[in-house]
C-alpha cells in the first residue's frame, strides 16, 4: 500500500521537522511548507492526500490559504488553531476545513484525526472500485454516489469536502429520522463528541448553504435542539 | 486669584466685613431717619389716628383697655409714645423725660389760654390731647430722644424684612459656594469608585470645565495616577498574555519530542513518559486558562450569543459533576424553583458555572452534597444560581479575594486538590461579561455559598 502523502504547513521549522519525523515513523510520507504562500503552492500541486495547515503563518494566514485552496480543490484539510481560540476554528470549518485541532496537543491525537479524515476519503474511493455503477443513495432531489464521492441536486453536481460528504451520507441514510450529534460524531468524525465541539454544526451549516432549501422552501436539514439533526422528507408523498 | 484657598478666604472675609458694615450703616441710617424731621409727616398721620383711637377708648371709660392698647402700640411703634396724665405720670409707669415734663407745663398753659390757633400751629410737634369724659386730661406725646437701637431691633415688623432678606440672600450665596466646592469632589469620589470597580480608563479632568484651582489640580493628579495605574495593569496583563502565548511554541515542540521518544523507547520507560505527558497536559491546560482569562478580561471576546435555557444547562452540569462526585462519596443536588432563559455565550457560561460546581465538589466533605438552586429574585429582574458546599469554608477575610487569579486559600489543601487558582477568576470574568455578578459567603454550619446573579430577559425590550 502506498503511504499517504501529507503536506505539513507550519512556520515553526523545528516543530515541523519533529512532527514530520513522528508522522513518517507512523507510516506517512511528509513534505513541509513553512509559510502560507509555499503551503498554497504545494497544496495545489495535487501530490498530497491531506494538508495539515497551521492558522498562524507569515506571508499568508492559514485561513487565506484554505480560502484560495477551496476554490479549486477539495483535498482534505486539517487546521491547527491556537488553543482556546474558537473563532479561528469556526471560521476554518466554515471555509471548508475537514477538521481542526487545537495547538499544542499530543501528536497521537493529530495522527488519529489525520487517519479519521483519510479513512473517510478512502472509504469513498474503495467503494468506487468495488461497485463502479453502485446505486446512488437518493432522497428526493438529492443523489449521493458513494463511489465517486459525487452529490447531485436535480442532476447538477454539488462540490463538497469528504467530511461534508460523510455528514450528508449519514443524514440521508437516516432521512426522516433524528440522528444524534454523538452518533454523527462517531460515525463521521471518528471520535466521541465533546461538549460544545462546533465542528458538526459548522459542517451541517456548510451543507445547508451548498444544498439550499428544499423545493417547497422548507429547511432541508433541521436542528433538533439538544438532540441532533433531521434530514426532512416530504411526508405527503 | 485662581487658588481655592484665596477664593474661600476672600469670600468669607468680604462677606463678614460687608455684612457687618452694611448692618451698622443701615441701622444708624434708620435711627437717624426715625429721629429726623423727615419722618414727622408720617408720624403726624400716625399720631392723629393714635389719638383718635385713644379718645374712643377713653370715652368708654375703661382704663384697663387703655393700658392694653398702649402696650400694643408700644410693641409695633419704633418711637416710644407716652400717655401722660396731668400729674405728669405715664400711664404704663414709664419714666417721663424732664424735657417732656417741661414742655407739658407749657402745653397745659397754652391749653388754659384756650388758644386753639396755637394748638393748631404746634401740631407738627406731634403731641395730642386726649380728654376723658370725667375731665381728666392726658397728653399723647412721642419721645424722640428715647429711641435706641435695641428698641428698634426688638420691633418684629422692623426686623422681619431684613432678617428674611439676609436668610434668603445669605442662603443662596452659601448654597452656591458649597455647591461650587463640593460638586467636583463628588465627581472625584465617583471616579475613585469607578476605578475601584475596574474601570481604569475613567478620567475626571474633562468634567472640570476649565477650572483652575486646587480641586482641578487634584483632578489632574488623579488622572495622572489613573493613567499610570492603567499602564501598569495593562502591561502586567500584556505580559501575562504574551508569556502564555510564547510558552505554547516550546510546549508544542515538547509534546512532539515526547511523542518521538515514546516511539523509540521500550516499555520500561512508560511510567516516566506517562508522567511527563501528564505534566505537559497540565501545563498546557494552565496556559490555556491563562489565555482565556486574558481574553475575558480584555472583554474583546466575540461572544456567540444565543438563548440559553438555564434549566437545561444546570441539569447537564449537575449530571456531569455528580458522576464525578459519586466516585468520592459526594453528591450534587439540583433544585429548580424557577425556569430561566438568558442571552449569552453558552460555552462560556457553561464552563463558568461548571468551574464553580467542580470547585464546590472538590471542597465539600465526603458524605455531603453540593446544592445547586436556581430561582428568580423577588423583583423578577434576575436569576440567582446558588452553589453551596459543606466543606471547611473560607476565612472571612479571604472571601472578597476568591475571584482573583492564583489566589490560594490554604496553600497545602489547594495543591493537593490540584487547583490552579484560575477557575474562579475565569468564572467571575465570564459572568461579568454576561452583566451578572458573583459573590461568595460562608454558611453558618461551615461551607461556602457562591451566588451568581444573571439579569433576566426583559421581553419587552427585545
Alpha carbon distance B255, A21 (integer Å): 13
The pairing of strands A150-153 and A142-145 is: antiparallel
Pick the CATH number of B305-455 from 3.30.565.10, 3.40.50.300, 3.40.50.1220, 3.40.50.1980: 3.30.565.10
Joined grid coordinates for residue A224: 433538533
First to last CA, chain A: 47
For A198, the closest chain B residue by CA position comes to: B347
pLDDT band at B213 (very low <50, low <70, confident <90, very high): confident
Polymer length in residues for chain B: 462
By Cβ distance, the residue of B248, B260, B288 closest to A21 is: B260
The answer to whether the beta carbons of residues B344 and B419 sit under 8 Å apart is no
- Identify the residue with better confidence: B37 or B322: B322
- Chain B residues with beta carbon closer than 8 angstroms to that of A195: 316, 350
Average pLDDT over residues B161-178: 82
Residue B412, pLDDT > 50, answer no
By Cβ distance, the residue of A18, A83, A226 closest to B248 is: A83
DSSP state of B90: B
Q: Is A194 on the interface with B (CB under 8 A)?
A: no
pLDDT given for residue B415 in this prediction: 47
User: A131-231 domain in CATH 1.10.10.10?
Assistant: yes
pLDDT given for residue B300 in this prediction: 54
* Domain(s) of CATH 3.30.565.10: residues in chain B: 305-455
By Cβ distance, the residue of A22, A26, A83 closest to B256 is: A22
Residue A1, pLDDT > 80, answer no
Alpha carbon distance B430, B268 (integer Å): 45
* Domain(s) of CATH 1.10.10.10: residues in chain A: 131-231
Prediction ipTM score: 0.80
By Cβ distance, the residue of A21, A26, A104 closest to B255 is: A104
Alpha carbon distance B131, B126 (integer Å): 16
For A86, the closest chain B residue by CA position comes to: B302
Q: How far apart are the CA of A87 and the nearest CA of chain B, in angstroms?
A: 8
The answer to whether the beta carbons of residues B369 and B330 sit under 8 Å apart is yes
Whether A195 sits inside 8 A of B249 (CB atoms) is no
Q: Is A5 on the interface with B (CB under 8 A)?
A: no
Average pLDDT over residues B104-115: 73
Q: Which of A73-77, B106-110, B418-422 has the lowest mean pLDDT?
A: B418-422
- Identify the residue with better confidence: A35 or B148: A35
Q: Is A22 on the interface with B (CB under 8 A)?
A: yes
At A26-65, the pLDDT tens digits run 999 999 999 999 999 999 988 899 999 998 888 888 999 9
> Which fold is adopted by the domain A4-122?
Rossmann fold (3.40.50)
Per-position DSSP letters for A30-58, written without gaps between them: EEEE-SHHHHHHHHHTT--SEEEEESS-S
The answer to whether the beta carbons of residues B346 and B308 sit under 8 Å apart is yes
Q: Is A27 on the interface with B (CB under 8 A)?
A: no
By Cβ distance, the residue of B254, B281, B347 closest to A196 is: B347
Whether A83 sits inside 8 A of B284 (CB atoms) is yes
Joined grid coordinates for residue B71: 402696650
pLDDT given for residue B461 in this prediction: 39
Whether B277 sits inside 8 A of A12 (CB atoms) is no
Whether B255 sits inside 8 A of A195 (CB atoms) is no
pLDDT band at A130 (very low <50, low <70, confident <90, very high): very low
Joined grid coordinates for residue B128: 395730642
Alpha carbon distance B362, B391 (integer Å): 9
Whether A84 sits inside 8 A of B263 (CB atoms) is no
- Chain B residues with beta carbon closer than 8 angstroms to that of A105: 255, 284
Whether A106 sits inside 8 A of B259 (CB atoms) is yes
Indicate the average pLDDT of chain B.
80
Test the B interface: residue of A14, A24, A55, A83 with most B CBs within 10 Å = A83
Alpha carbon distance B410, B406 (integer Å): 12
- Chain A residues with beta carbon closer than 8 angstroms to that of B346: 196
Cell 454544526 maps to which residue?
Answer: A201
CA angle A152, A158, A164 (to 5 degrees): 105
pLDDT given for residue B13 in this prediction: 87
Residues 6+ apart with CB under 8 A from B140: B47, B50, B51, B54, B81, B82, B83, B127, B128, B129, B130
Residues 6+ apart with CB under 8 A from A128: A134, A146, A147, A148, A149
Alpha carbon distance A143, A147 (integer Å): 12
Q: Is A156 on the interface with B (CB under 8 A)?
A: no
By Cβ distance, the residue of A12, A83, A226 closest to B288 is: A83
- Chain B residues with beta carbon closer than 8 angstroms to that of A182: none
pLDDT given for residue B126 in this prediction: 67
Helices B214-264, A13-25: inter-axial angle, 10-degree rounding: 30
pLDDT given for residue B460 in this prediction: 41
> B195-300 belongs to which CATH class?
mainly alpha
Task: Round the CA-based radius of gyration of chain B to a whole number and report it.
Answer: 46
Average pLDDT over residues A74-88: 82
In B414-448, which positions are buried (b, 16+ CB within 10 angstroms) versus exposed (e)? beeeebbbbbbbbbbbbbbbbebebebbbeeeebb
pLDDT given for residue B255 in this prediction: 92
Closest CA to A127 of A109, A111, A146: A146
> Which of B110-124, B140-154, B225-239 has the highest average model confidence (pLDDT)?
B225-239
pLDDT given for residue A128 in this prediction: 47
pLDDT given for residue A77 in this prediction: 93
What is the percent of chain B with per-residue pLDDT over 70, rounded to a whole number? 89
Residue B134, pLDDT > 90, answer no
pLDDT given for residue A46 in this prediction: 85
* CATH code given to domain B36-154: 3.30.450
Residue A110, pLDDT > 90, answer yes
Q: Is A131 on the interface with B (CB under 8 A)?
A: no
Q: How far apart are the CA of B258 and the nearest CA of chain A, in angstroms?
A: 9
* Domain(s) of CATH 3.40.50.2300: residues in chain A: 4-122
pLDDT given for residue B48 in this prediction: 80
Q: Which of A85-94, A189-198, B16-25, B209-218 has the lowest mean pLDDT?
A: A189-198
Whether A86 sits inside 8 A of B346 (CB atoms) is no
pLDDT band at B386 (very low <50, low <70, confident <90, very high): very high
- Chain B residues with beta carbon closer than 8 angstroms to that of A205: none
Average pLDDT over residues A114-121: 87
Q: Which helix (H) or strand (E) holds B449?
A: strand B448-455
Residue A225, pLDDT > 80, answer no
Whether A84 sits inside 8 A of B295 (CB atoms) is yes
Whether B255 sits inside 8 A of A105 (CB atoms) is yes
The answer to whether the beta carbons of residues B369 and B391 sit under 8 Å apart is no
Q: Which of A129-143, B336-350, B366-380 has the lowest mean pLDDT?
A: A129-143
Helices A86-94, A199-211: inter-axial angle, 10-degree rounding: 30
- Contacts by residues B225-230 (CB-CB < 8 Å, ≥ 24 positions apart): B226/B191, B226/B195, B226/B200, B226/B202, B227/B203, B229/B195, B229/B200, B230/B200, B230/B201
Cβ-based contacts under 8 A for chains A and B: 59
Whether B252 sits inside 8 A of A21 (CB atoms) is no
Q: How far apart are the CA of A208 and the nearest CA of chain B, in angstroms?
A: 20
Joined grid coordinates for residue A132: 463502479
- Chain B residues with beta carbon closer than 8 angstroms to that of A84: 288, 291-292, 295
pLDDT given for residue A131 in this prediction: 46
By Cβ distance, the residue of B253, B302, B316 closest to A15 is: B253
Whether B284 sits inside 8 A of A108 (CB atoms) is no
pLDDT given for residue B301 in this prediction: 53
Cell 505539513 maps to which residue?
Answer: A8
At B235-267, the pLDDT tens digits run 887 887 788 778 888 999 999 999 999 888 888
What is the percent of chain A with per-residue pLDDT over 90, rounded to a whole number? 28
pLDDT band at B157 (very low <50, low <70, confident <90, very high): low
Interface of B with A (CB under 8 A): 248-249, 251-257, 259-260, 263, 277, 281, 284, 287-288, 291-292, 295, 302, 304, 312, 316, 346-347, 350
Q: Is A112 on the interface with B (CB under 8 A)?
A: no
Whether A196 sits inside 8 A of B346 (CB atoms) is yes
Q: Which helix (H) or strand (E) holds A138?
A: strand A137-139
pLDDT given for residue B119 in this prediction: 47
Cell 480584555 maps to which residue?
Answer: B298
**Residue B194 three-state SS:** helix
Average pLDDT over residues A145-167: 85
For B250, the closest chain A residue by CA position comes to: A15
Whether A18 sits inside 8 A of B256 (CB atoms) is yes
Amino acid at each position: 500500500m502506498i503511504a499517504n502523502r501529507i503536506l505539513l504547513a507550519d512556520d515553526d521549522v523545528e516543530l515541523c521537522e519533529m512532527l514530520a519525523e513522528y508522522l513518517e515513523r507512523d507510516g506517512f510520507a511528509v513534505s513541509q511548507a513553512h509559510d502560507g504562500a509555499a503551503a498554497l503552492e504545494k497544496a495545489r500541486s495535487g501530490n498530497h492526500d491531506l494538508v495539515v495547515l497551521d492558522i498562524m503563518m507569515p506571508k499568508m494566514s492559514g485561513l487565506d490559504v484554505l480560502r484560495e485552496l477551496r476554490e479549486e480543490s477539495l483535498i482534505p484539510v486539517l487546521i491547527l488553531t491556537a488553543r482556546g481560540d474558537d473563532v479561528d476554528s469556526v471560521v476554518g470549518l466554515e471555509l471548508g476545513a475537514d477538521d481542526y485541532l487545537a495547538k499544542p496537543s499530543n501528536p497521537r491525537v493529530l495522527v488519529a484525526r489525520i487517519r479519521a479524515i483519510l479513512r473517510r476519503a478512502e472509504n469513498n474511493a474503495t467503494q468506487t472500485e468495488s461497485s463502479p455503477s453502485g446505486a446512488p443513495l437518493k432522497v428526493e432531489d438529492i443523489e449521493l454516489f458513494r463511489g465517486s464521492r459525487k452529490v447531485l441536486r436535480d442532476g447538477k453536481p454539488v462540490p463538497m469536502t469528504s467530511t461534508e460528504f460523510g455528514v450528508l451520507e449519514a443524514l440521508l441514510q437516516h432521512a426522516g429520522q433524528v440522528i444524534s450529534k454523538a452518533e454523527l460524531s462517531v460515525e463521521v468524525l471518528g471520535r466521541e463528541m465533546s461538549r460544545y465541539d462546533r465542528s458538526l454544526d459548522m459542517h451541517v451549516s456548510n451543507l445547508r448553504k451548498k444544498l439550499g432549501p428544499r423545493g417547497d422552501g422548507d429547511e432541508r436539514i433541521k436542528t433538533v435542539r439538544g438532540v441532533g439533526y433531521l434530514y426532512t422528507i416530504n411526508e405527503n408523498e | 486669584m485662581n487658588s481655592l484657598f484665596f477664593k474661600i478666604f476672600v469670600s468669607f472675609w468680604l462677606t463678614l466685613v460687608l455684612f457687618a458694615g452694611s448692618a451698622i450703616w443701615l441701622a444708624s441710617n434708620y435711627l437717624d431717619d426715625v429721629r429726623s424731621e423727615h419722618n414727622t409727616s408720617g408720624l403726624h398721620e400716625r399720631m392723629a389716628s393714635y389719638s383718635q383711637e385713644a379718645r374712643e377708648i377713653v370715652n368708654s371709660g375703661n382704663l384697663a383697655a387703655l393700658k392694653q392698647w398702649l402696650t400694643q402700640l408700644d410693641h409695633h411703634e419704633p418711637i416710644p409714645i407716652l400717655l401722660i396724665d396731668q400729674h405728669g405720670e405715664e400711664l404704663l409707669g414709664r419714666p417721663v423725660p424732664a424735657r417732656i415734663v417741661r414742655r407739658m407745663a407749657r402745653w397745659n398753659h397754652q391749653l388754659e389760654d384756650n388758644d386753639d390757633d396755637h394748638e393748631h400751629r404746634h401740631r407738627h410737634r406731634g403731641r395730642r390731647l386726649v380728654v376723658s369724659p370725667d375731665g381728666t386730661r392726658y397728653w399723647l406725646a412721642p419721645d424722640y430722644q428715647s429711641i435706641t437701637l435695641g428698641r428698634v431691633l426688638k420691633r418684629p415688623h422692623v426686623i422681619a424684612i431684613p432678617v428674611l432678606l439676609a436668610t434668603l440672600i445669605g442662603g443662596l450665596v452659601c448654597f452656591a459656594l458649597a455647591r461650587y466646592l463640593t460638586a467636583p469632589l463628588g465627581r472625584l469620589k465617583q471616579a475613585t469608585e469607578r476605578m475601584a470597580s475596574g474601570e481604569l480608563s475613567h478620567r475626571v479632568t474633562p468634567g472640570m470645565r476649565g477650572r483652575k484651582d486646587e480641586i482641578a489640580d487634584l483632578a489632574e493628579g488623579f488622572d495622572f495616577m489613573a493613567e499610570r495605574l492603567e499602564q501598569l495593569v495593562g502591561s502586567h496583563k500584556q505580559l501575562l498574555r504574551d508569556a502564555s502565548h510564547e510558552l505554547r511554541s516550546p510546549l508544542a515542540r515538547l509534546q512532539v519530542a515526547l511523542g518521538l521518544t515514546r516511539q523509540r523507547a521500550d516499555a520500561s520507560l512508560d511510567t516516566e513518559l506517562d508522567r511527563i505527558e501528564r505534566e505537559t497536559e497540565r501545563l498546557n491546560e494552565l496556559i490555556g486558562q491563562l489565555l482565556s482569562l486574558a481574553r475575558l478580561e480584555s472583554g474583546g471576546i466575540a461572544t456567540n450569543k444565543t438563548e440559553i435555557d438555564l434549566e437545561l444547562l444546570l441539569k447537564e452540569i449537575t449530571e456531569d459533576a455528580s458522576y464525578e462526585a459519586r466516585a468520592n462519596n459526594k453528591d450534587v443536588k439540583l433544585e429548580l424553583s424557577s425556569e430561566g432563559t438568558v442571552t449569552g455565550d453558552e460555552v462560556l457560561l457553561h464552563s463558568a458555572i461548571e468551574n464553580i460546581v467542580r470547585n464546590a465538589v472538590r471542597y465539600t466533605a465526603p458524605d455531603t452534597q453540593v446544592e445547586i438552586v436556581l430561582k428568580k429574585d423577588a423583583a423578577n429582574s434576575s436569576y440567582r444560581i446558588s452553589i453551596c458546599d459543606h466543606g471547611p469554608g473560607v476565612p472571612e477575610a479571604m472571601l472578597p479575594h476568591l475571584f482573583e487569579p492564583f489566589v490560594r486559600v490554604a496553600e497545602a489543601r489547594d495543591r493537593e486538590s490540584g487547583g490552579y487558582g484560575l477557575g474562579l477568576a475565569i468564572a467571575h470574568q465570564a459572568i461579568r461579561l454576561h452583566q451578572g455578578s458573583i459573590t461568595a459567603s460562608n454558611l453558618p454550619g461551615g461551607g461556602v455559598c457562591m451566588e451568581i446573579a444573571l439579569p433576566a430577559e426583559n421581553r419587552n425590550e427585545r
